[in-house]
């Protein structure tokens, strides 16, 4: 499985922060045939080794090890209580505003199984109608607490339940839940498969790391980086852009169809400028669309990775993504393929 089919497969998996095992299982199945070694660490990260030739080089940013990271978790919520009537109440885990959750289809449960439900709010028809997050509840159709708890209890999780769809025909949008950051995971799987199938071995060892808990701010990327001890860490992400009709171009962050975004600075990280320039130049040289990110918003796994052990040079390559953290994120097909190409070229040129 590759490209859109793979992304779809990964997006449909149930994997809110702290409950990523189902996603890890699907990724493991993908990478095993192409990897030299696959480690599942004690926090649930998947560390996948593709060995290099071991050739000793001078004047390189990667004398020993290159690490890639993409996070497996998606935004969602945790069940904080269940009432006598069988209604479940959510605690927020990085999902958007309550108004963007009202009425939405969700899956509720844990890694062992989920049940379908929907999010209710105080109807707008009624005085005091509210879509504040605190006013939301989840209804799975249960008649009382005991019945509800057969399916989901306090401490279990929920995520959006949205179909993965292709919108448009010419360079279509791929739309679905959890694209942040199953997209990064899918790109890494594709890159590994391509390296392995073509038999190319870089001089250095390459670690493809699939991490968890990114969406709650304290990611398992830190422990993955500790284990790998890389020279360079590159995070693959889906990042927010707003290149839609009506938004002033000044504030659009990046443009879909113009390739992945390379970050220079954001709310969590000052990126290694040599590395960022290398990626931007590489795109130009190899004719791969790439753009620098034009707004320093958001953070990602580079923040924990950059300060592991004695410090790591970091870069972020992100797909320009619309409507991120919602039930319906959308990325552009051509940007996905540009990202696979850029990452592959980076491995061959670092």
Does the footprint of other proteins cover residue 231 (CB under 8 A)? no
Q: Which of 325, 324, 306 is nearest to 316 (CA)?
A: 306
* Residue 278 or 336 having the CB closest to other proteins: 336
- In the list 15, 44, 117, 304, the residue contacting other proteins (rule: CB under 8 A) is 117
- In the list 291, 318, 326, 338, the residue contacting other proteins (rule: CB under 8 A) is 326
Does the footprint of other proteins cover residue 17 (CB under 8 A)? no
Q: Which residues contact 208 (CB under 8 A, 6 or more apart)?
A: 31, 35, 47, 48, 49, 50, 68, 188, 189, 191, 192
Does the footprint of other proteins cover residue 100 (CB under 8 A)? yes
Query: Contact, 183 vs 321, CB < 8 A?
Result: yes
Does the footprint of other proteins cover residue 123 (CB under 8 A)? yes
* Residue 140 or 224 having the CB closest to other proteins: 140
- In the list 1, 115, 227, 280, the residue contacting other proteins (rule: CB under 8 A) is 115
**Residue 81 CB, nearest distance to other proteins (Å)?**
11
Does the footprint of other proteins cover residue 246 (CB under 8 A)? yes
- State the DSSP code for 286: H
Q: Which long-range contacts (CB under 8 A, 24 or more apart) does 117-121 make?
A: 117/88, 117/141, 117/158, 119/90, 120/87
- In the list 112, 169, 310, 311, the residue contacting other proteins (rule: CB under 8 A) is 169
Q: Residue 271: helix, strand or coil by DSSP?
A: coil
Q: What angle do CA 184, 34, 302 make, to 5 degrees?
A: 30
Which helix (DSSP H) or strand (DSSP E) does residue 157 occupy? strand 157-160
Angstrom distance (rounded) from CA 105 to CA 116: 7
Residue 297, both tokens = 């918003």
Does the footprint of other proteins cover residue 56 (CB under 8 A)? no
* Residue 120 or 289 having the CB closest to other proteins: 120
Q: What residue ranges bind other proteins (CB under 8 A)?
A: 83, 85, 87, 96-97, 99-100, 102-105, 115-118, 120-126, 128, 130-131, 135, 137, 139-143, 147, 151, 162-163, 165-170, 172-173, 175, 239-240, 242, 244-247, 251, 253, 295, 297-298, 322-328, 330
């Amino acid at each position: 499985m590759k490209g859109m089919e793979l992304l779809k497969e990964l997006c449909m998996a149930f994997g809110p922060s702290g409950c990523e095992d189902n996603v890890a299982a699907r990724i493991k199945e993908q990478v095993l045939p192409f990897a030299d070694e696959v480690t599942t660490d004690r926090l649930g990260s998947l560390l996948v080794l593709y060995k290099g030739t071991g050739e000793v080089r001078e004047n390189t940013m990667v004398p020993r090890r290159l690490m890639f990271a993409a996070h497996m978790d998606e935004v969602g919520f945790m069940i904080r209580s269940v009432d006598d009537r069988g209604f479940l109440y959510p605690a927020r885990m990085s999902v958007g505003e309550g108004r963007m959750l009202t009425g939405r289809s969700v899956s509720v449960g844990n890694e062992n199984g989920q049940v379908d439900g929907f999010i209710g709010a105080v109807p707008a028809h009624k005085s005091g109608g509210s879509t504040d997050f605190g006013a939301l509840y989840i209804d799975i159709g249960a008649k009382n607490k005991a019945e509800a708890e057969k399916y989901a209890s306090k401490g279990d999780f929920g995520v959006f339940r949205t179909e993965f769809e292709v919108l448009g025909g010419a360079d279509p949008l791929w739309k679905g839940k959890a694209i942040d950051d199953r997209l990064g995971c899918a790109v890494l799987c594709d890159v590994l498969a391509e390296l392995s199938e073509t038999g190319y071995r870089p001089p250095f060892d390459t670690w493809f790391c699939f991490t968890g808990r990114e969406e709650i701010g304290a990611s398992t990327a830190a422990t993955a980086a500790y284990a790998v001890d890389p020279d360079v860490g590159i995070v693959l992400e889906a990042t927010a852009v707003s290149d839609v009709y009506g938004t002033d171009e000044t504030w659009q962050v990046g443009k879909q169809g113009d390739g992945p975004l390379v970050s220079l600075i954001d709310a969590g990280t000052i990126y290694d400028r040599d590395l960022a320039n290398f990626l931007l130049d590489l795109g130009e040289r190899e004719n791969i669309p790439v753009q620098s990110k034009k707004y320093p918003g958001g953070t990602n796994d580079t923040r924990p990775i950059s300060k592991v052990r004695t410090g790591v040079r970091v870069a972020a390559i992100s797909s320009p993504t619309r409507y991120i953290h919602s039930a319906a994120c959308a990325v552009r097909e051509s940007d996905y393929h540009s990202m696979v190409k850029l990452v592959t070229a980076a491995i061959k040129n670092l």
